[in-house]
Each structure stands twice: as C-alpha cells, then as structure tokens.
Amino acid sequence: MEDLLLKTASALLRLSRSVRAVLDRPLEQALHLDFTELTALRLIEEGVHSPSELAREMQVPPPTVSRILNRLVELGLVERRMDQNNLRRFQLYLTEQGLQARLKTRQIVAQVLQEHYGHIPETVLSEALSGLAALEPYLKEARYA
C-alpha cells in the first residue's frame, strides 16, 4: 500500500507540474497574474467569499491570502464588501474587471490545453477524470492546517 501511495502521489505531482508548465507563461503574459492569484479569482467566482475560506480552499496560510487579496484589490479585480451579518468581517467579490479576467483566463486555458493535449483520446481523459474524482474526497481530508 505504501508503494502505491508513493507512486500515486508522484504521478499527481508530475502531471500537475506538466500542466502548470504549459499554462503559466501564456496566462502570466496575457493577464500579468500568477497562478495563485488566478486560483483566488476562480474560487471567488465559484462562491468562496471570505478570506478564511479562501485560505482553506487554496491550502495556504492566511497571511499569503492577505497578500494575494491586497494585490487583486489594488488591480481592481476584487472588491471587499462588509458582511452584513458580521460587521467585523468582509466578503470578497469579483469586479467587472475581475469577471473579464476570468473570461480571458478560461479562453487562454482552453486554447493552450487544446494545443498541448488535444491529441489525448476522450476515453483516456474520461477514465483519468473518473479516477481523480474518486481520489479527491480523500485528498481533501488532508487540508492545510
């Protein structure tokens, strides 16, 4: 079992690095945002509205999320709104510029993935996606503390 876990983890890391390698440069050149900033925008768009939720989802320490959010707010991509249920907290929302950045991100990602991986048969992709979906609940258990 130990060997299987190690091989699985190694394969996931290798594949993740491969995908990031083809996506990072085109995204950064077009949007001037790094992968963690783009991840934060995606999560906010998907409904993660508090900084603490964002830290949990991104599996990074809260100070890192603060730095990311400060930059995204400065760029006009994210806005902080007071939480009406708790005035000591604020909620995060994409601005119109942030929504446009997300749209452009999706377009670039689709194009780059098609260019690099469009040759992979659909059956292989479907099987891989099923396997990853089965793993995900177990991997999410080990979140950043």
Tell me what pLDDT residue 13 has: 94
As a whole-number percent, the residues of the chain with pLDDT over 90 amount to 83
State the first-to-last Cα distance of the chain, in angstroms, to the nearest integer: 25
Tell me what pLDDT residue 37 has: 96
Summary mean pLDDT of the chain: 92
The backbone region for 143, taken as left when phi is positive above 0, alpha when psi lies in -120 to 50, beta otherwise, is: beta
Name the residue with higher pLDDT: 145 or 45: 45
Query: What is the rounded CA–CA span in Å between residue 141 and residue 127?
Result: 23
Tell me what pLDDT residue 83 has: 76
Tell me what pLDDT residue 24 has: 94
Query: What is the rounded CA–CA span in Å between residue 139 and residue 88?
Result: 32
CA nearest to 72, candidates 92, 48, 52: 92
Tell me what pLDDT residue 143 has: 57
Query: What is the rounded CA–CA span in Å between residue 18 and residue 120?
Result: 15
Q: pLDDT digit string (tens) for 13-32?
A: 999 999 999 999 999 999 99
Q: pLDDT digit string (tens) for 73-111?
A: 999 999 999 878 777 788 999 999 999 999 999 999 999
Tell me what pLDDT residue 118 has: 96
As a whole-number percent, the residues of the chain with pLDDT over 70 amount to 97
CA 29 to the chain's CA centroid? 18
Tell me what pLDDT residue 26 has: 96
Tell me what pLDDT residue 139 has: 80
The alpha-carbon radius of gyration of the chain (Å, integer) is: 17
